[in-house]
Amino acid sequence: MYKGYYLPILPSNKLEILKEIDPDVIHGYGIAFMALKGYICAHEMRIPYVLTMTTMVTDTMEFYLPKFLPLEPTERLAWIYIREILNHSDAVITHTDPIMDELRSHGVDPRYVGIIPAGVETEIFRPIENCTSIKEELGILDKRVIMHVGRISYEKHIDEIVRSLALLPDDVVMIIVGDGPARADVENTVKECGFEDRVFFTGFVDKLKLPEYYNSADVCVSCSRFETQGLSIMEAMACRKPIVCPNARAFSVIIEDRKDGFLFDGGVEDMAEKINIALECDDSIRQAAMEKAQSYSKENCARMLLELYDHVIDAKKKRLASKHKRHK
């Protein structure tokens, strides 16, 4: 894959550890080896297995698949595996409806479905008045800031946001918060465009420091059509920041265009146009963005999860009891 990316592989002692813990349900996040481990352990322990589909992994294959593997056959094999593990889980969760619809279009037919977002930590991500510390550190107090927060990976198309600076006023700069496998290529794009004095890379930033960064931004931007939710964008909204995102997947249902954020359908020019509008947007957009994020608080999402757990635990007990009766 790439430096810093690890896959948990079999064998392991996870079953022994889980038997000591004695959980009522096992909940896996992601679809690779850990998902398979979780399913095996739940099956052995005869307890429900819930799986959250956090990443559409087939979208990333063109960027990270070893060159000796053919793309299309590998994608087909991946979907066979994805269908099997999701259809054999007691419940499948996606963060938004478009992702569940997409899974169903590939033949996924879950036993039970939950549309449950990843909760926003609104007690951490909130507005901070007159937050200028990051601008002071970078020497850009007199600039307006667009910001991208998250892993610097190819499928997020951060290079396109960099290129949009050519269509934005000269007083607009960009801060890229995070790190990842595409960083060197994005840095090369910055050099090619001659934007070394307009783009700043921070590297990894601790979660508790992130609110200072969000609150230093004038607009937060994503160019990713890959997102199953887009948690960093929702954190920015919780900090009362206008956001600009593609009209695709999760963003298409989370964001109401020109009400609590801005959506674009085209390429760099369309994105730049929406960034310009967001830079001048009125206060009602910021307030609506914060209120939308607050509706996705971790407390609200936790309640939804608990309700799903209650359902799958009860349903599993009934299926096991019915199976036991049939074998008497």
Is residue 62, in this structure, part of any structural domain at all?
Answer: yes
**Of the candidates 189, 265, 142, which has an alpha carbon nearest to the alpha carbon of residue 176?**
189
Long-range interactions of 275-281: CB distance < 8 A, separation 24+: 275/146, 275/164, 275/168, 275/172, 275/219, 275/221, 275/244, 276/168, 276/169, 278/219, 278/242, 278/243, 278/244, 279/144, 279/146, 279/172, 279/218, 279/219, 279/242, 281/242
In what helix (H) or strand (E) does residue 225 lie, and over which residues does it extend?
A: none
| Claim to verify: residue 153 and residue 231 sit in the same structural domain | yes
**Do 114 and 49 belong together in one domain?**
yes
> Strands (DSSP E) along the chain, which ranges?
26-29, 49-52, 91-94, 113-115, 144-149, 172-177, 199-203, 219-221, 243-246, 262-264
pLDDT one digit per residue (tens) for the chain, 328 residues = 455 655 555 556 778 888 999 999 999 988 888 888 899 999 999 999 999 998 888 888 888 888 888 999 999 999 999 999 999 999 999 999 999 999 999 999 999 999 999 999 999 999 999 899 999 999 999 999 999 999 999 999 999 999 999 999 999 999 999 999 999 999 999 999 999 999 999 999 999 999 999 999 999 999 998 888 889 999 999 999 999 999 998 999 999 999 999 999 989 999 999 999 999 999 999 999 999 999 999 999 999 999 999 999 999 999 888 876 776 6
164 and 107, same domain (yes or no): no
Q: How far is CA 308 from CA 116, 319, 320, in A?
A: 9, 16, 18
The per-residue pLDDT for range 123-173, each reduced to its tens digit, is: 999 999 989 999 999 999 999 999 999 999 999 999 999 999 999 999 999
Q: Are 280 and 152 in the same domain?
A: yes
DSSP H or E run through 17: helix 14-21
Within a domain: 66: yes
User: CA 186 → CA 113, 143, 163, 262, distances in Å?
Assistant: 38, 22, 10, 24
In a shared domain, residues 305 and 283: no
Question: Is 1 part of any domain?
Answer: no
93 plus 142 within the same structural domain: no
Please tell me the distance from the alpha carbon of residue 85 to that of residue 78, in angstroms, as a whole number: 11
Tallying the residues shown for the chain, one arrives at 328
Shared domain for 227 and 307, answered yes or no, is no
| Residues 183 and 282 placed together within one structural domain of the fold | yes
- Supply the CATH number for residue 90's domain: 3.40.50.2000
Q: Quick one: 277 and 146 in the same domain?
A: yes
In sequence order, what are the beta bridge partners of 219?
146
Q: Is residue 146 part of a domain?
A: yes
The amino acid sitting at 15 is L
- As for how many domains the chain has, the answer is 2
Please tell me whether residues 163 and 289 are part of one structural domain: yes
- Which neighbouring-strand residues pair with 146? 174, 219
Residue 112 falls inside a structural domain: yes
Q: Is 314 a domain residue?
A: yes
Asked whether residue 126 is assigned to any structural domain, the reply reads no
Q: Based on the fold, state whether residues 290 and 302 are members of the same structural domain.
A: no
Give the range of the structural domain holding residue 70, as residue numbers without chain letter.
14-119+298-326
Is the CB of residue 230 less than 8 Å from the CB of residue 246?
no
C-alpha 315/C-alpha 95 separation (Å) is 22
3 falls within a domain: no
Distance CA 134, CA 217 (A): 9
Distance (Å, rounded) from C-alpha 229 to C-alpha 95? Answer: 6
DSSP code for 5: -
* Domain match, 88 and 144 both: no
